[in-house]
A = this chain, B = another copy of it.
Amino acid sequence: MTHTKNSSNCIGIVGLGLIGGSLALDLQALGFKVHGLVHRATTATKAKERGLAQVISTDPKILSDCDLIILALPLDQLLKPSQSLLKALPPSAVITDVGSVKAPVLKTWTKLHQRFVASHPMAGNANSGVGAGQIELFKHRPWVATPDTNTDTEALKKVQDLALALSSEWITAEAEMHDQAVALISHLPVLISAALLKTLCNERNPSLLELAKKLASTGFADTTRVGGGNPTLGTGMMENNSSAILRALSSYRWSLEQFEEAMISQHWSQIQAELEKTQTLRPEFLNDKL
């Protein structure tokens, strides 16, 4: 990283949950000085116990010496930052975020800071909170930045260096394209998976439901995993990327109706041909990753 380990400057991380805490652990391991800003005093105590950063405080002033600040906040807080946070961000520092939706973040933050770089390290697991951070969460995972014509080139390079230092795979894309892509491969899966569980919530025949519970197995487990996950994360995705998700959902409903029509019309060879296509397509999305 051009942000030198030997400088007196530090890397600021705002929020020490799963993403912020994991960043803090990795950056410390790489030799960087990390300042962690948290909202609550109790969180600060826990973060200190875990040794997540060298300096941990609820006072935004700890960011004043940082030349790179990562906003590891939930989307709602990221889109409505507090005045105290905004005042504490040095104008010369590079600011980046980790939000899973990029167009609204870029639109908001371009107006708030001249050296803002919108980015999305695509890593995570089912854990959350100050106890969730873990080392090497970002290793070999995509880190997408979504610069536009206003983005400071030098600032973008600094975030790229950060991602590469963490062994992430650096990708740049337009913010709208990013949001549509994650709608298709991440947010739509949550929605269709949750709808499957909701179908069972709606089932009125108790004997049928009991038998279904006995017979459910790995296929059901796989298909419902993301739909049975963190409700707040799921709602946040839908709220903040709704237009891209609704577009993806419209296309999905059409796909589902094609299958339904083929079943009603008993066009089994058409269904066989469609399932051959889906079987062929899937590895193109997953090869060499899992």
Contact = CB atoms under 8 A, between A and B. Distances in A.
Interface of A: 122, 141-142, 144, 169, 171, 173, 177-178, 180-182, 184-186, 188-203, 207-208, 211-232, 234-235, 238-239, 242, 245-246, 248-249, 251-256, 258-260, 263-264, 266, 268, 271-272, 274-279, 281-286, 289-290
Contact of A256 (B177, B226, B249): B249
13 contacts: A141-B217, A181-B215, A189-B220, A194-B278, A195-B255, A196-B255, A197-B282, A198-B258, A198-B259, A216-B285, A224-B282, A231-B272, A253-B256
Contact of A278 (B182, B198, B256, B281): B198
A145 to B, nearest CB: 13
Contacts of A193: 223
Contacts of A169: 214
Tell me the number of copies of this protein. 2
A197 B268 CA distance: 18
A248 B208 CA distance: 12
Contacts of A235: 268, 271-272, 275
Contacts of A224: 189, 278, 282, 285
Contacts of A216: 185, 285-286, 289
A212 B285 contact: yes
Nearest to A232: B272
B290 A231 contact: no
A255 B199 contact: yes
B223 A223 contact: yes
Contacts of A141: 217
A268 B234 CA distance: 10
A214 B168 CA distance: 13
